[in-house]
Amino acid sequence: MTEFQILTESILNALVAGLLMGAIYGLMCVGLAMIFGIMKVINFAQGDFMMMGMFVALFFFSTFTQQLVGDFVGPYIAVTLAAPIMFAVGYLVHMALISRVTGSRTAKLDGEGHYAQLILTLGLSLILQNGAMMLLGPYMVTIATPLSSSAWMITPIWDDMLLIFINKARGVAAVISVLVIIAIGLMITRSRLGKSLRAAADNPEASTYMGIDVNNAHRIAFALGIAITAVAGGLLATNYPFQPFVGLEFVIIMYAGVVLGGIGSIIGPFWGGMTIGIIQQMSTLVLPFQLQNSAIFVLFLLVVILRPQGLFGRVSERT
């Protein structure tokens, strides 16, 4: 291969890897944005709910979907089954805990309830991490599929001299992520539920006067946010090993993605996550590999300085 061919192939493969990873990051970010955008709750336990989703998906995979439909389809059925479970977990957590520091009750709390929310979700995060550690141990596990070590190969030019590798597990995960995002977008913009969620986000007081049950809308938003991030986690688990502390590796990326995409926007953070994925991979072409994650935060700071409302946020919603 010539140096030009090597460079071209490196750029194309980094771009593909970035797009695939970015789609999964994007889905994670949308889960967090759903909670923050609608409820204005800063959920520090989001990464740990993602971890929980990964373990729930692994449970379904190892107990029956693997035996039932095999290693290729089994992981995705397991992830699909994990979604309603995590929705129910989110719904119950909101009902039992989050609702006490959000909504109409925040009027009586310092800082509109944000201090209480911060402490509550940090506490939840610690409980989930250490609870999982006690119950499941510190073992590194994964949803094992042969797709994670194989690729679709594309040869756009120069025959076999230039190959683009699309990891099968990440490729399928990216496609599912995009489909989920489209479904969420349609739900938010077209359905009655979506309208009530948007109304509860825009003006909770006026929504109450219009007959919308704001507390219920918040509960659904929280549960949906948890379920969406859990699906992202389950998809990630098909190609990335995890343990009870895996949430910490991704929670910062989720927050960065939400700020990049625009605080207050629900779909914008998908593009925020996608941007992070692309920057993370493409930066290795010009910077030392060790600075891969630093590049993300340089971009993050640039966006905060130059476009504080984020890439897709409204001017009134600044970081």
Partner 1 sequence: MNSLTRRIFTLGAISALPLTMLAPPVHAQDADAVKIGLIAPVSGLYARFGQVMRMGAELAIEDINAAGGIEALGGAELELVVIDSGDTTEKAKAAAERMVAEYPDLVGATGAYLSSFTLAVTEVTERAKLPVLTLSYSDLITERGFDYIFQTSAPAGDQAGIAIPTVLDLAEATTGTRPTTVGIITDNTAASLSSVDAMKDGLLEDNNLELVVDEVFTPPLADATSLIQQLRARRPDLVFFLPTVISDSKLILEKMNEFNLDIPVISFGIAIAEPDVLDTISPDLLEGVMSAVGNYAFAGHEELIKRVQEKYGEPWMNQNAISTYGDMWIFKQALEDAGEANREAVAQALRDMDAGPSPYFPGGVLAFDETGKREGAGLTVIQWQDGVPRTVFPEEIALSPAIWPTE
Q: Which of the residues 88 through 127 are near partner 1 (CB under 8 A)? A: 111-112, 114-115, 118, 122, 125-126
CB of 192 to partner 1, least distance (A): 26
Sequence-distant (≥ 6) Cβ neighbours of residue 265 within 8 angstroms: 33, 37, 310, 312, 313, 314, 317
Closer to partner 1 by CB, 29 or 83: give it: 29
Binding to partner 1 (CB under 8 A): which residues in 40-59?
Answer: 40, 42, 44, 47
> In this chain, which of 106, 167, 238, 275 binds partner 1, going by CB under 8 A?
167
Q: Shortest Cβ distance from residue 85 to partner 1 (Å)?
A: 22
Instruction: For the chain, give the secondary structure using H, E and C.
Output: CCHHHHHHHHHHHHHHHHHHHHHHHHHHHHHHHHHHHHHCCCCCCHHHHHHHHHHHHHHHHHHHHHHHHHHHHHHHHHHHHHHHHHHHHHHHHHHHCHHHHCHHHHHHCHHHHHHHHHHHHHHHHHHHHHHHHHHHCCCCECCCCHHHHCEEEECCCCHHHCCEEEEHHHHHHHHHHHHHHHHHHHHHHHCHHHHHHHHHHHCHHHHHHCCCCHHHHHHHHHHHHHHHHHHHHHHHCCCCCECCCCHHHHHHHHHHHHHHHCCCCCCHHHHHHHHHHHHHHHHHHCCCHHHHHHHHHHHHHHHHHHCCCCCCCCCCCCC
Asked if 238 is part of the footprint of partner 1 (rule: CB under 8 A), the reply reads no
Site for partner 1 in 179-218 (CB under 8 A): none
Sign of CA dihedral 193, 199, 202, 207: negative
Q: Check binding of 4 to partner 1 (CB under 8 A).
A: no
* 186 vs 248 by CB, closer to partner 1: 248
Total chain residues near partner 1 (CB under 8 A): 66
Q: 71 vs 81, which CB is nearer to partner 1?
A: 71
Q: Which is nearer to partner 1, 139 or 186 (CB)?
A: 139
Q: Which position among 178, 284, 307, 311 is part of the footprint of partner 1 (CB under 8 A)?
A: 284
- Out of 101, 259, 267, 303, the only residue in the binding site for partner 1 (CB under 8 A) is 259
Residues 289-318, mask of contacts with partner 1 (x by CB under 8 A): xx-xx-----------------------xx
Per CB under 8 A, does 240 bind partner 1?
yes
Nearer to partner 1, 96 or 290 (CB): 290
Q: How many CA atoms lie within 13 A of 211 on its CB side?
A: 1
| 285 touches partner 1 by CB under 8 A | yes
Binding site residues, partner 1, CB under 8 A: 1, 6, 9-10, 13-14, 16-17, 21, 36, 40, 42, 44, 47, 111-112, 114-115, 118, 122, 125-126, 129-130, 133, 137-142, 144, 146, 148-151, 165, 167, 239-243, 245, 248-249, 251-252, 255-256, 259, 263-264, 280-281, 284-285, 288-290, 292-293, 317-319
